Structure 1
Amino acid sequence: MAVTAALVKELRDKTGAGMMDCKKALSETDGNLEAAVDWLRTKGLAAAAKKSGRVAAEGLVGVAVDGTKGAVVEVNSETDFVARNEGFQSFVETVTSLALANGTDVEALKGIAYPGTGRSVGEELTNNIATIGENMSIRRAASVAVSDGVIVPYVHNAVKPGLGKIGVLVALESTGDKAKLADLGKQIAMHIAAAAPQSLSTDDLDPTAVERERAVLVEQARASGKPDNIIDKMIEGRIRKFYQEVVLLEQTFVIDGETQIRKVVEAAAKDAGAPVALTGFVRMQLGEGIEKEQSDFAAEVAALAG
């Protein structure tokens, strides 16, 4: 596969590695982007793989809660100008409320009646595209619920209540004091917005992500020249550190910088007056995994690469 300037740029955005290192990594891996990320990491040239890449899409994330259930929806637009439009904001709010009431399957959601229009959600989306003159899409939706406890919403840098660029929901199961639970949930939600965990627990973490991390660590450890029994211990220690970086319950609470999240939740039982369990969360950041073409930079890379 040809190593294009655009591919070099994408790898550079993902890893922060130098341009020539990125070009070499892609050459070594026949243009396979994910393999090139791992190649850079084994050489110590990239700190970590960024699964979602550089955030570039515009639009809004909507968050809504009703009692013990909450929903988050991402609606994309081409420009931030449209995202600031009151009509677009109203559309995102309405779609989020409909997802909360009817479920988060996007295709099914498009078939639901859009209030006051005689159109479905999908038809209203098409109407907005025609009216505003810019492409839009309902990209994804997710929800969490508890049987007894609280669902706590948080929107980072909200443009208005329930709308912003990062939306978080935290599910706390407990019969305890709901106000105390809400306070705890707000702090954990802020932590999630900042720390971007990949899963709630180690059991929930994608096995593919773990094996990929392990493979990179094995190559790094072997390069040290140490014997296999020492390498095995090194790998296990580094996998534990990996869990502490990406698993919510294993992460260090950003609020105090020292307590593990699972310990924070355990300690909350005393204030709440009953055991507390963190049973789920959703973190949705606008444009995760969507890249916008940067032709000027690609041209610069092409010129430098000859």
Structure 2
Amino acid sequence: MANITAQMVKELREMTGAGMMDCKAALAETNGDIEAAVDLLRKKGLSKAAKKAGRVAAEGLVGIWVDGPRAAVVEVNSETDFVARNEQFQGLVKMVAHVAYKTGDDVAAILAAPVTSSGTVADALSSAVATIGENMSLRRAGVLAVSDGVIGTYMHNAVDPGLGKIGVLVALESTGAKDELAALGRMVAMHVAAASPLALDFAGLDPSVVAREKAILAEKNAGKPENVLAKIVESGLKTYAKEVCLLDQLYIHDGGKTVAQALKEAEGKIGAPIKLTGFARFALGEGIEKAESDFAAEVAAQAGLKG
């Protein structure tokens, strides 16, 4: 058997990012052949990654990449909040956001995009799963662009520039002063983070959402004459629009006006008309059902203890 030195273990660990004991075991199994040990760890790492794929990943980070008139926002999930503080994971999310910026918002296309001479984003995720030891996934991506204007951004609970828990993009088209427009874009993005609109305006709402609201209003006012009911439903939908449509919402920075009115008022300062053409709001883990767990049992399992 080859003599496995500390230097060999250190070298293998630096090459693969695997744990010290895993590196030592791989070297012993391959009789000290470092290249063979790298392949062995990759195989074991990918196997571990596959086993972890069934576990709920509802933590992680939202990442934003913005450059000029185009920006991307992505959500990369992990199993625990602890991983969000891992520099390797943070770098991974930034890389994925950059790829989305260049590739578009299609998750499959992002995962298939090459990021090294021999690997794709999907490969990078699998490698991180093997190294960090948690299931991870690219859940979604959004991209906004303007022809002449700015993309306003805001990151809530940021752990690093462009990384946090709630990421927002806002597209503002205008030929006016870009510095002033960028400041306005950030303010509107903060509003979106806080108010969580469903659509830009009423026309942009999902038809099924509108139908559900109509049904609720009709049921609450059942028995009223048809002409009266129609007016109640119409009025109710206008009220609903003020709650969930961005342009109709009361602006959080000035509750005396709507977002649309705030944009109109800002045109004097910007020096040109302003049109809000789109937004994207990603809140980490929203809509993911988190499994209940026994924390004490998890700790015992990690420690290799039996109940």
Given the two structures, how large is their TM-score scaled by the length of structure 2?
0.75
Identity of aligned residues (%): 54
Q: Structure 1: how far apart are the matches of 2:167 and 2:88? A: 20
- Counterpart of 2:40 in structure 1 is none
Q: Answer with 1 or 2: which has the greater Rg.
A: 2
Query: How many Å apart are 1:227 and its aligned residue?
Result: 3.1
Q: Secondary structure at the match of 1:113?
A: coil
AA paired with 2:227?
A: N
AA paired with 2:121?
A: V
- Counterpart of 1:138 in structure 2 is 138
Q: Is the 8 A contact 1:71 1:144 kept in 2?
A: yes
Query: How many Å apart are 1:226 and its aligned residue?
Result: 3.5
Q: Does 1:271 align with 2:272?
A: no
Q: Is the 8 A contact 2:168 2:280 kept in 1?
A: yes
Q: Note the residue ranges of structure 2 that are not aligned, 5 or more in a row.
A: 1-56, 295-307
Q: Structure 2: how far apart are the matches of 1:76 and 1:99? A: 16
Q: Structure 2: how far apart are the matches of 1:75 and 1:129? A: 12
Given the two structures, how large is their TM-score scaled by the length of structure 1?
0.75
Q: Does 1:204 align with 2:201?
A: no
Aligned alpha-carbon RMSD (Å): 1.4
Q: Structure 1: how far apart are the matches of 2:62 and 2:293? A: 27
Q: Note the residue ranges of structure 1 that are not aligned, 5 or more in a row.
A: 1-55, 297-306
Determine which structure has greater relative contact order: mean sequence separation of CA pairs < 8 Å that are 6+ residues apart, divided by chain length. Answer: 1
Q: Structure 2: how far apart are the matches of 1:227 and 1:174? A: 47
Q: Is the 8 A contact 2:152 2:188 kept in 1?
A: no
- Counterpart of 2:258 in structure 1 is 260
Q: Secondary structure at the match of 1:119?
A: coil
Query: How many Å apart are 1:293 and its aligned residue?
Result: 2.2
Query: How many Å apart are 1:295 and its aligned residue?
Result: 6.2
- Counterpart of 2:111 in structure 1 is 110
Query: How many Å apart are 1:125 and its aligned residue?
Result: 0.6
Q: Is the 8 A contact 1:64 1:153 kept in 2?
A: no
**Deviations 1:214-258 (CA, angstroms, capped at 9, x unpaired):** 001100111xx5433322221111110011111101111011112
Q: Is the 8 A contact 2:103 2:110 kept in 1?
A: yes
Q: Secondary structure at the match of 1:114?
A: coil
Q: Secondary structure at the match of 1:268?
A: helix
Q: Structure 2: how far apart are the matches of 1:295 and 1:73? A: 27
**Deviations 1:59-117 (CA, angstroms, capped at 9, x unpaired):** 000011110000000000000011111100000001101110122211111111224x7
Q: Structure 1: how far apart are the matches of 2:160 and 2:263? A: 29
- Counterpart of 1:234 in structure 2 is 232
Query: How many Å apart are 1:281 and its aligned residue?
Result: 0.7
- Counterpart of 2:289 in structure 1 is 291
